[in-house]
Structure 1
Amino acid sequence: MSAAAAEHPWDSSQENQLETADSLMEQLPGFRVEIIGGVITVAPPPDGDHASVLTDVMISFLAVGAHGQESRVLQNVGLWLPAGSEDFAIPDLALVDADFEEHLIQYNCYDPAVFRLVLEVTSSNYQQDLRNKVTAYADAKIPVYVIVDRKHGRLHVLTDPVAGDYTSHRIHAPGEHVVLPDSIGAEVKLDVSAVLRAGEPKKAT
């Protein structure tokens, strides 16, 4: 999730969670609404530095041909989560199979089987990305989960999902160059310093 979020109380006697999510999106244009672990989360639009990180990361993927006939690089695409009957997430960035549109489940969300990688850029609600989404994405068997942790100034690469967790969790510091796993189908290298620098708040001149 890209910004500070708040849990939304849900009254099951009135409507189901997807209906509540629809209502919130109508009331709060531009906000991101997700259901993780049965909890509706609402986050304001991301800041410009967050968007800058995503652009820089996308360039790294595009430079090696990851957005082509075999796979596509997408922002804010819906991911249906199998752990709950109405759970879904909207990762900041995803690498998916090129035929992902053939695997729509519902609510503009796609089968987790077509996701090769998801990436989140943290903001003030960093615990959502570092905890709740780790569990959610591991349960969905997303092979690679990358977290650009702006709070602590590091980059996480999680691989090998098991029930509710990843068996491999590598943390990379500024100065490192990280080559993402071959399983994503492209040789993507990220400069940790450059990625984190893109996400730093800029001083007004």
Structure 2
Amino acid sequence: MAGPLEERFRSVRDLLPEYRVETARGRIVVNESGTWQHNTLVFQMVCRLIGPAVERGWEIWPNITVYLGQNADRYVPDLAVVPRRPRMRMEHAVYGDATVLLVDIVTAGSVYEDYHVKPGEYAQAGVPLYLLVDPLQCTVKLFGRPEGGKYGTEILVTGAEPLVLPAPWEFAVETGELW
């Protein structure tokens, strides 16, 4: 049964479908769609991930809510890579542990949430890989191996270094042209 925050979340999401509606620490957060620079980085990440995703029969979804548990926050990453027909909470929400990879592009207003809040919640929900693309610092950070409510590995690459995604990906994301 949905609680009051969940009901308000659904109402706001239904009222503002063109916005990214999330819940974070007991509050509803409405984010505008990204700038052209943000959307360019989203596009560049799609271009890098599409080949390996298609080869493995996965799909890349923008603007899907990630269900992290009954009382957990609801986030909408920039991209969610999922297997075909992943386990869904509702038509607009995929279970976190049913994803293959979540990707967020860091913005000035999302730094704290992206680096300090989301990794813990994603790890607790079993999201296998969480990738942060940070144009403010020209870095890419990968969180992996969720265990005990936190990620067991964190890999940070800077500048033009390639980032090797572990199994089931097993390929390098070229980051040099992102910046």
Instruction: In structure 2, list runs of 5 or more residues that go unmatched.
Output: none
In the aligned structure 1, how far is the partner of 2:5 from the partner of 2:117?
Answer: 18
1:4 corresponds in structure 2 to none
Structure 1 match to 2:163: 178
User: Are 1:91 and 2:74 counterparts?
Assistant: no
Q: Secondary structure at the match of 1:194?
A: helix
TM-score, L = length of structure 1: 0.77
More deviation, 169-178/32-41: 32-41
Report what 1:113 is aligned to: 97
Deviation, structure 1 residue 187: 3.9
User: 2:159, 2:176 within 8 Å by CA — same for their partners in 1?
Assistant: yes
Looking at structure 2, the residues matched to 192 and 182 of structure 1 have their Cα atoms a distance apart, in angstroms, of 19
Alpha-carbon distance in structure 2 between the residues aligned to 1:36 and 1:138: 16
Q: Alignment length, in residue pairs?
A: 176
| Deviation for aligned residue 1:188 | 3.8
Quote the sequence identity (%).
22
Cα separation, 2, equivalents of 1:94 and 1:159: 15
* Alpha-carbon distance between aligned partners in 2 of 1:94 and 1:68, rounded to the nearest angstrom: 16
Which of 40, 47, 66 pairs up with 2:35? 47
Structure 2 residue identity aligned to 1:136:
E
One-letter identity of the residue aligned with 1:81? L
TM-score by length of 2: 0.87
Q: Confirm or deny: 8 A CA contact 1:60 1:189 kept in the other structure.
A: no
- Match of 2:155, SS state, is strand
**C-alpha root-mean-square deviation of aligned residues, in Å?**
2.1
Structure number with the bigger relative contact order (C-alpha 8 A, sep ≥ 6) is 1
SS at match of 2:142: strand
**1:53-83 CA-partner distances (Å, limit 9, x unpaired):** 111111112223x13663111111221112x
1:129-187 Cα deviation digits (max 9, x unpaired):
1111111111111111100012222110111112332121111001201121122xx34
Give unpaired runs (5+ residues) of structure 1: 1-14, 198-205
8 Å Cα contact 2:144/2:152 also seen in 1: yes
Alignment counterpart, residue 134 of structure 2, candidates 127, 149, 157: 149
Does structure 2 conserve the Cα–Cα contact (< 8 Å) formed by 1:155 and 1:172?
yes
